[in-house]
A and B are shown apart, each in its own frame.
Chain A
Amino acid sequence: MSELPESGAVLSLEDVEAGYGRAALVLRGLSVTVRAGEVVCLVGPNGAGKSTALKVASGLLAPRSGRVLLAGQDVTGLSPQRLLGLGLSHVLQGHSVFREMTVAENVRLGGFTVRDQAKLNERVEVVKELFPVVADRWGSMAGLLSGGQQKQVEFARALMLEPKVVLLDEPSMGLDPRNTQVVFDQIDLMRRTGVAVLLVEQNARRALEMADVGCVLDLGRVHISGPARELAADPRLGRLYLGGAPAN
């Protein structure tokens, strides 16, 4: 991966427009920047374009216009495989473990593009240390794990290639408070190890409490952004969620 630009931006979406098929645009000029070791949280009502933004960033969806920059390099339209090699991982919304494979197979698949077995084994040991549940349930079928455990397997898989930036789509969705806490602790751990995180969360206040930067999306663009804790206290956030007119 190339050196970071002066701004320290690991990932930037610049004026991105995107949508599905011939349907109307979901993203309408979205711009977001994530710096190394920073958690940027996207919040907003359903349909605001949060998950779509992550799909554009990871190459699952090609934008109609705008640019995606990874460490200053224009990666717009590159495949997920190429972006993975450049240091970008994406954990999908809901459960995305390979249910009928073991935890071991799931985690090792995180290094599918790596042929060097020694390096792969080294990374396996690292993620096992980071995620004790993964080590404990190594031989279990992933589909038999609880929701919280499956999410940790997905995190471990996403960290196999030492990404520079991780995209997390609603990681606490469907989890009980205890497992939600575990998930947020692990996001914090990623940040402390220098990984940039672009987080999408419905649990807005909780996410903004731990994030560095918050962006409130509505109708496919950022309406409010700023330091996350300040944003959490901003009354405009509540208005947007309650269906009020977007603030300028």
Chain B
Amino acid sequence: MNLLLQGLALGVLTGGLYALLASGLSLYFGVMRVVMVAHPAFLFLAAYLTYTVHTTLGLDPFLALPLTVPLFFALGVAVQRLLIARLAPENMAMMSVLLTFGIALTIEGLLGTFYTGSYKSVSMEYATRSLTIGGVHLPYDKIIAFWVAAITLLVLFAVLIKSRFGQSLRATIQHREAARLVGIQTERVAGYGFGVGLATAAVGGTVLALITPFFPASHWVWIGKLMAIIVVGGLGSVVGAALAAVLLGVVEGLVLVTVDATWATIMFYVFLFLTLLARPQGFFGGRLAHRF
């Protein structure tokens, strides 16, 4: 019983982080039907920048965020305006896979050149301890990751729901042509949407740097998991992805403590195939799919 509770607690904490990591992917697909294979590569680019700030300046990794978040936002706008926007709309999904695959390889190559292929990690004393509640051990790094993800997602939802930009982004996602006809500059909004997506990668990368060692090719491990999450959640739905992330995080946590790590990872693909067979639009891809 205690083991199950341990798995459940870890699953919820990890699922929260997955929700943050997948939110950017949902935005890209929602805004422009772009399958952004390079999102995890940007996550680890942020992790490496965090590592650099931490090791050269001796700062807490989270103090890298004022640098990486605006930088990644600008990078996202540039990627969308200079590269993605030039793809033919009729082949957007397929061509975006090829283009962003190339971007991922480029980032991986650059990271290998500058940081070598060896593992790096950011270790903070406060992140190595754990909190014990009723026999369930909750590592502080996972707790921090969960709360950073939760706060970031709350800010993201608040922006999407309350702000003028969020309203224009949602309108662009839901009906691009109608959005143009009410005076929304959809190309600019799509660029900013990409910027927001990559800004979430900056936060996610910092958290990843804190909880896991990484090397330049680490991103390949994550792309499958994150893609599974957004398909299960319903492509283009940030809320759907968040719910699917927590669900899959819990399943992973429970399988991890009751079976083994291999099966825990396989569960993502089991859910992916089951979703594609039973409900291709995703389990939260009905009414929720276009809400955010």
Contact = CB atoms under 8 A, between A and B. Distances in A.
Contact of A101 (B171, B287, B288, B289): B171
B171 A60 contact: no
Interface string B162-202: 00000110110011011111111100000000000000000
A81 B170 contact: no
Contacts of A100: 170, 174, 287-291
Given A79-B185, A81-B184, A100-B291, 11 more contacts: A80-B181, A80-B183, A96-B177, A96-B178, A97-B175, A98-B178, A101-B170, A109-B167, A109-B184, A113-B182, A157-B182
A58 B182 CA distance: 11
Contacts of A81: 180, 183-185
Q: How large is the interface on B (under 10, 10 to 19, 20 to 34, 35 or more residues)?
A: 20 to 34
Contacts of A99: 174-175, 290
A168 to B, nearest CB: 12
A92 interface: yes
> Among the interface residues B170, B181, B291, which one has the most CB atoms of the partner chain A within 10 A?
B181
B175 A98 contact: yes
A90 interface: yes
Interface string A80-106: 110011000110100011111100010
Nearest to B291: A100
A112 B182 contact: yes
Contact of A92 (B178, B184, B291): B178
Contact of A110 (B167, B182, B291): B182
Interface string A172-183: 000000000000
Nearest to B180: A80
A89 B291 CA distance: 25
Interface residues on A, range: 20 to 34
B183 A85 contact: yes
Given A96-B175, A101-B170, A84 B291 contact: no
A110 B178 CA distance: 10
Contacts of A97: 175, 178
Interface string B28-64: 0000000000000000000000000000000000000
Contacts of A112: 167-168, 182-184
Contacts of B287: 100, 141, 143
Interface string A134-145: 000000010100
Interface in B81-101: none
A84 B182 contact: yes
Interface string A157-187: 1000000000000000000000000000000
A142 to B, nearest CB: 9
B123 to A, nearest CB: 43
Contact of B171 (A85, A92, A98): A98
Which of B177, B178, B290, B291 is most buried by chain A, counting CB atoms within 10 A of its CB?
B178
A109 B229 CA distance: 32
Nearest to A89: B181
B228 to A, nearest CB: 24
Nearest to B290: A100
B164 to A, nearest CB: 8
A110 B180 CA distance: 11
Interface in B135-156: none
B274 to A, nearest CB: 26
Contacts of B170: 98, 100-101
Given A81-B185, A109-B171, A60 B290 contact: no
Nearest 10 pairs of A and B residues by beta carbon: A113-B183, A96-B178, A100-B291, A81-B183, A98-B174, A100-B290, A80-B180, A112-B182, A84-B183, A112-B183
30 contacts: A58-B181, A60-B177, A60-B180, A79-B185, A80-B181, A80-B183, A81-B183, A81-B184, A84-B181, A84-B182, A92-B177, A96-B178, A96-B181, A98-B170, A98-B178, A99-B174, A100-B170, A100-B174, A100-B287, A100-B288, A101-B170, A105-B167, A109-B167, A109-B171, A110-B182, A112-B167, A112-B183, A112-B184, A143-B287, A157-B182
A157 B182 CA distance: 8
A109 B182 contact: yes
A104 to B, nearest CB: 12
A100 B160 CA distance: 13
A101 B178 CA distance: 13
A51 to B, nearest CB: 11
A109 B166 CA distance: 12
A60 B180 CA distance: 8
A99 B291 CA distance: 8
